[in-house]
Structure 1
Amino acid sequence: MITGRYRMVFHSALAPADAFATATRELRSWLTAKSKHRAIDIAAYDAGHSQLGKGILLLHNARAEGDGTQTRQWQLREHDENGYWLSSLVVHAPAKPADAQQRTWFWLDVEYVRRTDGEEMRAGLPGIARKLLAAVNAYDHWAELAPRPILIRPDRIEHLLEILTDEERRLPVVIASPHSKIPFDTWHKVIEQATKYLHGIASIYILDPVTEKTFNAEIGSSFGVWGGAVRTYLPGLDFAVEDDARRHRVLSSARIEADVHRSAGLLAGLPRQLSADSRLPKPLSRLSRADVAPTATSRDSTIPLDHSTIVEELRQENSELRELLELFDYEERTLRGESADLRDDLLDTAAELETANQKIAELSDWVRTLRKRLEFAGKAAEAWVPAEEQTVLPTQLPEVLELMDGLERVEFTGDIDVVWKLDERAQSSTWAQTTWQVALAMQEYADAVADGKFHGDFRRWCLEPADGVAAISAGKVKTEESETVRKNAKMRGQRELPVPREVDPSGRTYMGAHIRIAGSGGMSAPRLHYYDDVRGTGKIYIGYLGPHLDVKSTN
């Protein structure tokens, strides 16, 4: 499930009193900045009131445990006609053992809680996140979460390597390399723009020109980064395992230069998802965002209240309690939905892995048989000669679209922004490889049809593949949608996708044929919709690559 939530979790060495004071100050500064666009009553905030304006509610709770643990929570709700923006800030100071380093935790969540049907609202990088990072020395264990890229010179390489291999690191480390043709100061500013959405969800570093060579020599070429590229190193990095290198994505300097803004979105996608979905650190694991008690309106208890004032205070407290009950319900529904999605993903991944393992076993058997035949034929030495070409599969979906440009008979006509959105998911490297295999199979199929060597459709090509041809599992290919989808105007409309005018004068055509890029079902598994016009214009047009389009169960 791709979440619209922004989550930032870090620890600092601030004493509890300083941490609470900093959070209070920066929250006020953020509300003051927001008051320029919304009617927020800062005086009400200073007085400790919960109602800060029409549809704007701030709940606050402070508590101390017997062991010395202290927690303060703030919860801001900004209502509109469809729901409300929920901003939750928690500052937690566990009891400090005498021999332990002080760690005060900050936890910020911002998301939109929708009461009506509609598209999910996605939280941007909240202003309070920037303010907190500028005011606090924030850490993900040893990694620094700074508001801008940290420059790494030769004397800091060892420290950076320790951060990369730190087993307690929760968040990605993003490292940018200097550009070989652009002055370092200029490229540094480009990297600042390309990493502008990573604040609080990844630690960001940039190597200076002298450091780049030494750094890459230390970690090896498989894990290196150079030539202006930016690499995202996920938690659990192991330099001793060569195959682990493929997990850690590289964004080329050419792609950054082509579109810095889009590159910034791509770089932030996976870290944002990991930050939102990963387990909270142990000190925060038992806390709930909904654990915020309603705050009674501050007043002088010696002043008698008239009936209308009492009624108004009771109405406000009742409203706050109702809000909290609604939030508990929302939290429960969200957790259930995420649990269901994770279960579906696990089942889908297990099925894909089983199929891949079977294929590997068949190919291994084939290789062993061929080697035995060569040995029997007196050509034993040839049986162990390495392949002349090594196939390197793409690891990013945008990269697949670039590779498709080199295919004569397969053309992508869809929305590239939807594809970039898919690349936020941890499974996207697998999806990229599957999509590329689909494209290669389509190319060979289209060539065979154009040459008059094959007379069926793409599914038939995959169902009965000739020896040595590129094909995918026929079970992934669906030649049409269900009758329910075809007859529903909204759902059919989603599948009327772009094509060249020579295919259809309107520039769009219905694409019921689709391919499961992952999984056997579930709405989180991506789909590729295509239109086979090989017997017309000589091409197959891919009009959509993205999350599962609506079907009956989601309509």
Structure 2
Amino acid sequence: MTQFYQALLRDGGPRLGPRLRRCFAAWAGVEDDGGPALEHARGRSRTALADNDLCGRYLHDVPTGDGRLRTTATWAAGRKGAPGWVRVTVEGDLDQAAVTAPGFMPAFLATGRATDGAVPVEAGPHLIGPEEVKELTGWLARPDRGVPVIVLTVDRSDPNLVAACADHLAETLAGVALVARLYDARTQDDLNAWLGGDLSVFGGGLRTYLPGVRPGEETYAMRHQPRGGGAIRDQGVRSLEVVVKGVVELSVHRAVPADVRQTEPRIARVLAGALPPGELHAAPPTPAAIAVPRGPRIPRPAAPSEPQTLQPEPPAQPEPPAPPDPQPELTTAPEPGVEPDPVPEPEPAAGLADDIAAKLADRLDESVLDALVDMARGGDTETTALIKTMAAHLDALTRAVESTGLLAVRAPGQELERLRRQYDQLELDYTELQECERKAQDRIRWLESRLAEHADPVYGVQTDADRDDCWEAESLMEVVQRARKQLRHLDLPDSLDTEVSKLDVMYPRQRRRWTGRTWDALRALDAYAAARADARFTGGFYDWCARPLPGAPAITPTMVSMKESDSVSGNPKYHRARVFRVPTEIDPSGRVYMPSHIKLQQVGSPAPRMHFLDDAGGATGKVWIGYLGDHLPNTRTN
């Protein structure tokens, strides 16, 4: 699914869950009974509400155009008095859609005083006068601000138009932007005096100030996009579409805070009863704690033992009939003086129902038949009373089983949704396991490097530089940007950004899984190229991954392929798709075929690949990344 909208809010007010649930249910048109779990379907639309005192998740899935849109609101109470958090996302199986804030967001923001963690995010625009300018500049300067601030200036020719535009922006961008409207010209002058000429706003226009405003130090002031007053006066609210689209797209790429990233995968498990509520904010679980439970293992039948001679037992003496047991029995009472039949050995599961039916039929002797006839005639013998008791217990047991829904036949849509929820949860658990494995591998490499240096075991000491190596990113573009700054033996051209951004936007759930692998692969390539440049290693990158230097970054060799298949290399169409830019020192044409690639995901769709050219031992001494994106065309994709 493609993610179109994301809001991340902090709310320390009371009754966070009930407030959010009430607004969400009213927007979705659902009559909420307040129960712990509610599912409602109307046509092709479906709404699900599930929560408890600590967390909750509300979902509204509706058809739209040729696909569907899914709005999800997830919340959790804060840890040890910290404010709770809310994450709202809108996803769909559409290539593109004009998505704005869900309709319940303004109503929810009006119930409390939410923030993005640094600045207030409210239901309507802030009216800024001369007394509030200092507060506005404080919001703009906050280094931890996550949402953009949209400032609208005064238009003396039509003040009502500016007010209408501010209201429209506050509604469509609820939760992902702070909208401020200046009260008068004096306020505008005071604000511009603080911003400086490059960042000023005037003339009835507006400006979107992204996080990280630095008056007098901006190297590219136009990243804070202005919108002229003339366009607003000519087109009115329609002129704001480009502003809304830009801010909504920006919200999708906003990094998820660490506490939200750690807690959110556990919410579904808490709501399903698979995890105690007290574990919601606990330390990351071990792999065993989040393993998928399996059914009991059926023991193999034991080998037959040697036959033994049994001593004859004295015949059982008849005993007076016991009163009916309150628990239902599966056998009938024996007649006085008749020795009960031996208990049969358990039969295999196959044909179990038929075997039981046959055995019960054999046990219906004449006394039971007589009791049934007596019961039909209104008699009240002891056997008849026992049968009545058994029938009552069996009827109660049947009703109890039916009430649980265990025997109900699920509709295809319900079964599909159940499987989809299980798949989503398994995907989150798998991603968490991958992160734990990455950190463990990084720790092992650090210990190996220290052992190689000192020939002495050292434990429990890790420097900040070592700890930074196991870095977690929120998007592939973030990985690419960091690699361009830190990895000196790699070259990542700007041409990568198109396909990388496409993976980030089109597959928001999988991108966290790919970011760790991509960063590890880039670090391994950089370490390999550095070792080749210093003549500390001979061989190719595949050899490096199989036998790296002690403590050096590496990836598993199964992720690396140094060539393409003959069906790809020999096909002109597929061959051309793998030709990428290189400097003329490598090839005079400036382009070269790059069959070597790293599999960021082995199978599935998408299955991202990173194609590279190894020139670590050549003229440039670098590894050149030619492509990072979805699997290039081959005989299977075409």
Q: State TM-score, norm by structure 2.
A: 0.45
What does 1:70-89 align with in structure 2 at a 5 Å threshold? 70-78=54-62, 84-89=68-73
Which residue pairs with 1:133 in the alignment? 109
- CA shift digits 1:139-171 (9 cap, x unpaired): 123422223221100111111111111111111
Distance 1:325 1:172, change over 3 A: same
Provide the C-alpha distance between the structure 2 equivalents of 1:281 and 1:290, rounded to a whole number of angstroms.
15
Distance 1:308 1:353, change over 3 A: closer
**Corresponding position: 1:119 with 2:95:** yes
Provide the C-alpha distance between the structure 1 equivalents of 2:13 and 2:419, rounded to a whole number of angstroms.
35
Which residue pairs with 1:90 in the alignment? 74
Provide the C-alpha distance between the structure 2 equivalents of 1:259 and 1:214, rounded to a whole number of angstroms.
28
Q: Residue 55 of structure 2 aligns to a residue in which SS?
A: strand
- CA shift digits 1:464-484 (9 cap, x unpaired): xxxxxxxxxx989xxxxxxxx
For residue 213 of structure 1, report the CA deviation from its aligned partner.
Answer: 1.1
- CA shift digits 1:186-205 (9 cap, x unpaired): 43223433554222111010
For residue 554 of structure 1, report the CA deviation from its aligned partner.
Answer: 9.1
Question: Aligned to 1:175, which of 145, 151, 165?
Answer: 151
Provide the C-alpha distance between the structure 1 equivalents of 2:25 and 2:397, rounded to a whole number of angstroms.
27
Q: Return the structure number with greater relative CO, CA threshold 8 A, min gap 6.
A: 1
- CA shift digits 1:305-336 (9 cap, x unpaired): 54995432766875443021343588799999
Distance 1:47 1:242, change over 3 A: closer
Distance 1:322 1:131, change over 3 A: same
Question: Aligned to 1:109, which of 84, 89, 94?
Answer: 89
Provide the C-alpha distance between the structure 2 equivalents of 1:264 and 1:301, rounded to a whole number of angstroms.
64
For residue 172 of structure 1, report the CA deviation from its aligned partner.
Answer: 0.8
Which residue pairs with 1:153 in the alignment? 129
Distance 1:5 1:144, change over 3 A: same
Provide the C-alpha distance between the structure 1 equivalents of 2:401 and 2:187, rounded to a whole number of angstroms.
70
Provide the C-alpha distance between the structure 2 equivalents of 1:157 and 1:50, rounded to a whole number of angstroms.
47
Instruction: Confirm or deny: 8 A CA contact 1:91 1:107 kept in the other structure.
Output: yes
Provide the C-alpha distance between the structure 2 equivalents of 1:91 and 1:259, rounded to a whole number of angstroms.
39
What does 1:456-495 align with in structure 2 at a 5 Å threshold? none
Distance 1:86 1:185, change over 3 A: closer
Which residue pairs with 2:38 in the alignment? 49
- CA shift digits 1:364-418 (9 cap, x unpaired): xxxxxxxxxxxxxxxxxxxxxxxxxxxxxxxxxxxxxxxxxxxxxxxxxxxxxxx
State the AA in 1 paired with 2:418.
L
For residue 292 of structure 1, report the CA deviation from its aligned partner.
Answer: 2.4
State the AA in 1 paired with 2:400.
P
Distance 1:313 1:264, change over 3 A: farther
Instruction: Confirm or deny: 8 A CA contact 2:205 2:229 kept in the other structure.
Output: yes
Provide the C-alpha distance between the structure 2 equivalents of 1:262 and 1:156, rounded to a whole number of angstroms.
29
Instruction: Confirm or deny: 8 A CA contact 2:75 2:85 kept in the other structure.
Output: yes
Which residue pairs with 2:177 in the alignment? 202
Instruction: Confirm or deny: 8 A CA contact 1:197 1:264 kept in the other structure.
Output: no
Of the structure 1 ranges 169-178 and 128-137, higher mean CA displacement relative to structure 2 is found in 128-137
Provide the C-alpha distance between the structure 2 equivalents of 1:552 and 1:201, rounded to a whole number of angstroms.
43
For residue 242 of structure 1, report the CA deviation from its aligned partner.
Answer: 4.2
For residue 19 of structure 1, report the CA deviation from its aligned partner.
Answer: 1.0
For residue 26 of structure 1, report the CA deviation from its aligned partner.
Answer: 1.0
Provide the C-alpha distance between the structure 2 equivalents of 1:19 and 1:191, rounded to a whole number of angstroms.
27
Provide the C-alpha distance between the structure 2 equivalents of 1:318 and 1:92, rounded to a whole number of angstroms.
27
Distance 1:330 1:126, change over 3 A: farther
* RMSD (CA atoms): 4.5
Which residue pairs with 1:265 in the alignment? 241
For residue 231 of structure 1, report the CA deviation from its aligned partner.
Answer: 0.9
Q: Residue 286 of structure 1 aligns to a residue in which SS?
A: helix
For residue 234 of structure 1, report the CA deviation from its aligned partner.
Answer: 1.0
Instruction: Confirm or deny: 8 A CA contact 2:28 2:47 kept in the other structure.
Output: no
Provide the C-alpha distance between the structure 2 equivalents of 1:301 and 1:283, rounded to a whole number of angstroms.
46
Which residue pairs with 2:585 in the alignment? none
State the AA in 2 paired with 1:111.
E
Provide the C-alpha distance between the structure 2 equivalents of 1:3 and 1:252, rounded to a whole number of angstroms.
32
Provide the C-alpha distance between the structure 1 equivalents of 2:635 and 2:148, rounded to a whole number of angstroms.
38
Question: Aligned to 1:192, which of 167, 171, 182?
Answer: 167
**Corresponding position: 1:325 with 2:305:** no
**Corresponding position: 1:26 with 2:18:** no
Structure 1, unmatched stretches of 5+, are 33-39, 65-69, 355-473, 477-518, 525-549
What does 1:335-374 align with in structure 2 at a 5 Å threshold? none
What does 1:416-427 align with in structure 2 at a 5 Å threshold? none
Q: Residue 207 of structure 2 aligns to a residue in which SS?
A: strand
Provide the C-alpha distance between the structure 2 equivalents of 1:279 and 1:192, rounded to a whole number of angstroms.
27
Distance 1:329 1:254, change over 3 A: farther
State the AA in 2 paired with 1:21.
P
**Corresponding position: 1:144 with 2:120:** yes
State the AA in 1 paired with 2:232.
I
Question: Aligned to 2:205, which of 229, 234, 242?
Answer: 229
Provide the C-alpha distance between the structure 1 equivalents of 2:172 and 2:637, rounded to a whole number of angstroms.
31
Which residue pairs with 2:407 in the alignment? 311
Distance 1:231 1:318, change over 3 A: same
- CA shift digits 1:503-552 (9 cap, x unpaired): xxxxxxxxxxxxxxxx987789xxxxxxxxxxxxxxxxxxxxxxxxx999
For residue 344 of structure 1, report the CA deviation from its aligned partner.
Answer: 6.8
Distance 1:344 1:221, change over 3 A: closer
State the AA in 2 paired with 1:184.
P
Provide the C-alpha distance between the structure 2 equivalents of 1:144 and 1:317, rounded to a whole number of angstroms.
40
Distance 1:475 1:151, change over 3 A: farther
Provide the C-alpha distance between the structure 2 equivalents of 1:192 and 1:265, rounded to a whole number of angstroms.
14
Which residue pairs with 2:12 in the alignment? 13
Provide the C-alpha distance between the structure 1 equivalents of 2:99 and 2:204, rounded to a whole number of angstroms.
29
Instruction: Confirm or deny: 8 A CA contact 1:89 1:107 kept in the other structure.
Output: yes
Provide the C-alpha distance between the structure 2 equivalents of 1:105 and 1:253, rounded to a whole number of angstroms.
37
State the AA in 2 paired with 1:20.
G
Q: Residue 95 of structure 1 aligns to a residue in which SS?
A: coil
Distance 1:301 1:239, change over 3 A: farther
Provide the C-alpha distance between the structure 1 equivalents of 2:398 and 2:189, rounded to a whole number of angstroms.
73
Which residue pairs with 1:492 in the alignment? none
Instruction: Confirm or deny: 8 A CA contact 2:265 2:429 kept in the other structure.
Output: no
Provide the C-alpha distance between the structure 1 equivalents of 2:250 and 2:117, rounded to a whole number of angstroms.
16
Provide the C-alpha distance between the structure 2 equivalents of 1:105 and 1:138, rounded to a whole number of angstroms.
9
State the AA in 1 paired with 2:60.
L
Distance 1:351 1:553, change over 3 A: farther
Q: Residue 255 of structure 1 aligns to a residue in which SS?
A: helix
Of the structure 1 ranges 155-164 and 240-249, higher mean CA displacement relative to structure 2 is found in 240-249
Q: Over alpha carbons, which structure has the higher Rg? A: 2
Distance 1:342 1:232, change over 3 A: same
Structure 2, unmatched stretches of 5+, are 274-395, 435-473, 486-490, 496-588, 592-624
State the AA in 1 paired with 2:75.
V
